[in-house]
Amino acid sequence: MRQINKCSYLLLLTGIIILLNSCKTSHKATSVALSEMKKDERIESIKYQAIPFNTLSSSLKFSVKPGVKKSATSVNAQLRIIKDKVIQLSLRMPVLGSELARISITPERVIILDRINRRYVSEPIQKLQELSSFDFYSLQALFTNQLFIAGKQSISLEDYSTFNLRQDKFFVKLNNTDNQGIHYDFTSDFTNRIIQTEMYKDKKEFDMNWLYKDFGLTSNKLLFPMKMTMELTVPDDLYTMNLTFNNVDIDSAFELDTSIPNRYQPVEIEQVIKLIQSFK
């Protein structure tokens, strides 16, 4: 049980979801009906709406509410992604802008730097995959509003048959299930953009909803969700993470440092989490 709790706390920092459970889906009201499409056409249209990028970066407001009875913690942040290589979230001091913590995720590792106390956590991403086939590429897709299949770097035409499709007049839901029995539901509306991704396994244990709202223009004039809300439901509690983006920049040239500075001390992840939850 300790290992599951550890992974669910890590989710609050990185968006990584391990074992999750289904809950009631909430949709933004709309009066625009769907156009008629076959399943393969619908999947292709949803894939087409995803923004193509080599790099993505944005300043943002990052907040975490670690439980129904807890108050939210909010800091300024910078999200940078080099496609298929690194996802990095830098948490910063409100006025001075100096870095408080840095979270780097690669296809191999999750690294968290505690800048204040010169400590770090470095965990192989395989530890998370022992509980689920959810991986770096799934997380990258969540941060960039894309359709994905857990455990695969990209979706091919041959993968379309693995999705089940349900729809009514206004919404489409595509479902895929990984080899651990975890379900992935992708909901889209008349725009064929993903407005919600939900992951779950045991309905009594865990549920994650990743919601996409307020689509606005990026630097290359394409639409991107400027607000993302992650809701993780566990027995008797709800954890919430909000990302509010500013000026999403596509394909600017930059490099990301994932090294661990000399003299930083290794610690357990719970110690770093307590620090980050204390930021005001």
CB of 266 within 8 A of CB of 272? no
What number of other Cβ atoms are within 10 A of residue 108's Cβ? 11
- The rounded distance, in Å, linking the Cα atoms of 277 and 66 is 8
* CA nearest neighbour of 141 among 51, 61, 77: 51
> Is residue 241 domain-resident?
yes
Residue 280 belongs to some domain of the structure: no
Domain tally for the chain? 1
Between 202 and 114, the higher pLDDT residue:
114
Per DSSP, which regions of 131-250 are E strands? 164-167, 172-177, 183-188, 194-200, 207-217, 223-234, 237-250
- pLDDT of 1 strictly over 90: no
pLDDT at 276: 54
Residue 58 lies in a domain: yes
**Averaged pLDDT score across all residues of the chain:** 84
Q: Does the pLDDT of residue 249 top 90, yes or no?
A: yes
| CATH code of 255's domain | 2.50.20.10
In a domain, 22, yes or no: yes
Alpha-carbon 170 to chain mean position: 25
Q: Is residue 259 part of a domain?
A: yes
Res 196: pLDDT: 97
Q: State both tokens at 270.
A: 């719970």
Helix (H) or strand (E) holding 270: helix 269-277
> Domain range holding 101?
2-275
Q: Fill in the DSSP letter of residue 12.
A: H
- At position 101, the amino acid (one-letter code) is A
CB atoms within 10 A of CB 45: 16
pLDDT, tens only, 47-77 = 999 999 999 999 999 888 876 667 677 889 9
Q: Who wins on pLDDT, 129 or 45?
A: 45
Q: Is residue 64 part of a domain?
A: yes
- Flag whether 268 is in a domain: yes
Q: Is residue 247 very low, low, confident or very high in pLDDT (cuts 50, 70, 90)?
A: very high
174 found inside a domain: yes
pLDDT per position as a tens digit, 74-113: 889 999 999 999 999 999 887 677 899 999 999 999 999 9
